[in-house]
Amino acid sequence: MNKMVKAVALIGSGALAAGILYLGVSLLLPPVLPTSVAASESTAAARNTRVAKKSRENPAQSTSQPKPGPNGLVKIQYNPVAKNNALALARTLHMTLLLPTHAYPKVALNESYASHGMLNLEFNDMVVIESKNPITPSYKPASSLGVTLSNGIPAQWLLLYGVGAGGYRLQFQQDGTYVRLQLFGAYIPAGLKNAEQIAAQFSAVS
């Protein structure tokens, strides 16, 4: 009888210890869903691990950066090769290329490639997708919000939950081109208002 009581007590103490360990780990782990408006850093990590494509460019970073304006934006100094590559891809897709003229300091266009009839422009801390047709998300948006950019162009925020955590995408149409913009969590600042400021800086490239 004493052995049975000891065994039950041992099992009970083991279960209690396991419960305490689970509670401690759960408090340390971050929540699955994002708690801020910043884009998902897990998405950025997945993007950074993509195998390099043949069209990838590695423009040299400029040693001197323009002085930020009142809103913190500076003129983007595009590498000519990277810019011409994006323009050539846009022409093959029979669409107008749009690029932001200003963004936050040290923004650079790293890669551009065509996929499924859309042009993907990957900057160091943000991604732009452009298409001559409306861009349909792979996942049903959890929520959406219409806004107007400072240049008067209507835009829409979409909250999409996919692999990893959620991410906010800003969509708008300009000069016949549909655009989706996403800033990554590593981009400081990376709030919704910051993305709207950059979206208002897009202009046609010819």
200 vs 108, 123, 182, CA distance in Å?
17, 17, 14
Q: In this predicted structure, what is the pLDDT of residue 161?
A: 79
The 3-state DSSP class for residue 201 equals coil
Q: In this predicted structure, what is the pLDDT of residue 137?
A: 83
Ranges in the chain, pLDDT < 70: 1-70, 162-166, 185-190
Closest residue by Cα to residue 41 from 200, 190, 156: 190
Q: Which residues pair with 97 in a beta bridge?
A: 205
Q: In this predicted structure, what is the pLDDT of residue 66?
A: 61
Closest residue by Cα to residue 55 from 116, 100, 133, 122: 122
Q: In this predicted structure, what is the pLDDT of residue 186?
A: 52
Q: What does the alpha-carbon distance between residue 163 and residue 25 come to, in Å, rounded to a whole number?
A: 22
Neighbours of 10 (CB within 10 A): 10
DSSP labels for 133-198?
S----SS--SEEEEEE-TTS-EEEEEEEE-SSSEEEEEEEEETTEEEEEEE-TTSSS--HHHHHHH
